[in-house]
């Protein structure tokens, strides 16, 4: 038994050396794995930074996404431009225009809209919002090619030069024509009875300087006409833009021919381009 012990001793020592070598190899493998893991973590952090991730990528995300985001914020902060209106429409607003009514339709097929009034002191100066109201447009939405009876409002930039209505002039600065002829036909729904108490003609396919009731259509009857700002009856129109009565009166008392007012109108996607 002792012989077995003596003969087994060298074997035991050899096993210890083997275990020590294995341990060193394990340590080396662990270091390699740690290094690989560290590299992977760094690569992941860089990836998250580029994608705008959270955590370790936050600092990098601000740097990586700042160029396009910065341009968007700069554009939004440029108050010399009308908000959410593309450059093509902006260029159609003359330098001497100081008042703009902007109509933002909720969608190309939607009858819901928001009307905002903007003013500025001079060309190149900031546009300042002076009013904002819920509104309606054509019951079938918007179109770039308006035609008679399509129940859509025309997209574009137009002048505002004449006004009128069933009721007396509330103090309009635009030329105002009062006439009972503005009264909606008796066969129209009852809710429309006061639609035309006050109107502002949008100069689409009409002759400026005439009553909104003037039937002349320079582009032809098929292109439609009689597109007005008028009182709202709670739903879409045949192509006009409608808003509450107090808002129409406010616009009448504000819009001034000397300020060369314009209206920019369309669904949000068309306006933003």
H-helix or E-strand containing 95? none
User: Any idea of the CA torsion for 168, 174, 180, 186, to the nearest 10 degrees?
Assistant: -110
Query: Rounded to an integer, what distance in angstroms lies between the CA atom of residue 138 and that of residue 257?
Result: 26
Non-local (6+) Cβ contacts of 157 within 8 A are 89, 92, 93, 262, 263, 264, 265
Query: Rounded to an integer, what distance in angstroms lies between the CA atom of residue 146 and that of residue 174?
Result: 26
Query: Rounded to an integer, what distance in angstroms lies between the CA atom of residue 248 and that of residue 236?
Result: 17
* The total number of residues written for the chain in this structure: 273
Contact 163, 177 (CB under 8 A): yes
Predicted pLDDT of residue 47? 32
Cβ of 247: how many Cβ atoms within 10 Å? 20
Contact 263, 100 (CB under 8 A): yes
pLDDT tens across the length of the chain (273 residues): 323 333 333 333 344 444 444 545 544 555 434 443 343 333 333 233 333 333 333 333 333 333 434 443 455 578 999 999 999 999 999 999 999 999 999 999 999 999 999 999 999 999 999 999 999 999 999 999 999 999 999 999 999 999 999 999 999 999 999 999 999 999 999 999 999 999 999 999 999 999 999 999 999 999 999 999 999 999 999 999 999 999 999 999 999 999 999 999 999 999 998
Cβ of 95: how many Cβ atoms within 10 Å? 9
* Pick from 262, 245, 264: nearest CA to 153: 264
Predicted pLDDT of residue 273? 87
Predicted pLDDT of residue 82? 97
Non-local (6+) Cβ contacts of 109 within 8 A are 140, 141
Task: Strands of 166-226 (E only): list them.
Answer: 176-178, 199-202
| Backbone phi and psi for residue 58, each to the nearest 5 degrees, phi listed first | -60, -50
Predicted pLDDT of residue 48? 30
Angle, CA 170 vertex, CA 164 and CA 172 arms, to 5°:
65
- The domains of the chain are located at 2-70, 84-272
Predicted pLDDT of residue 146? 97
> What is this structure's pTM?
0.73
């Amino acid at each position: 038994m002792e012989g077995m012990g003596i003969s087994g001793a060298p074997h035991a020592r050899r096993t210890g050396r083997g275990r020590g070598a294995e341990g060193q190899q394990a340590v080396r493998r662990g270091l390699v794995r740690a290094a690989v893991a560290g590299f992977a973590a760094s690569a992941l952090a860089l990836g998250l930074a580029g994608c705008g991730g959270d955590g370790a990528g936050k600092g990098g995300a601000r740097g990586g996404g700042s160029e396009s985001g910065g341009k968007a914020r700069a554009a939004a902060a440029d108050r010399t431009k009308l908000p959410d209106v593309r450059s093509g429409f902006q260029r159609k607003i003359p330098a001497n225009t100081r008042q703009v009514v902007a109509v933002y339709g909720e969608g190309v097929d939607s009858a819901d809209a928001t009307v905002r009034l903007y003013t500025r002191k001079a060309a190149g100066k900031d546009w300042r919002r002076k009013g904002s109201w819920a509104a309606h447009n054509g019951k079938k939405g918007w179109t770039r090619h308006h035609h008679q009876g399509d129940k859509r409002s025309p997209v574009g930039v137009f002048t505002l030069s004449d006004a009128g209505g069933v009721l007396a002039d509330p103090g309009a600065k635009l030329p105002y024509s009062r006439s009972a002829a503005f009264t909606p036909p008796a066969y129209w729904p009852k809710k429309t009875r006061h639609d035309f108490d006050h109107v502002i003609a949008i100069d689409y396919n009409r002759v400026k300087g005439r009553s909104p009731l003037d039937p002349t259509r320079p582009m032809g009857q098929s292109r439609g006409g009689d597109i007005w700002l008028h009182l709202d009856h709670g739903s879409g129109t045949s192509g006009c833009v409608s808003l509450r009565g107090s808002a129409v009166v406010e616009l009448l008392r504000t819009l001034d021919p000397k300020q060369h007012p314009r209206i920019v109108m369309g669904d949000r996607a068309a306006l933003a381009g």
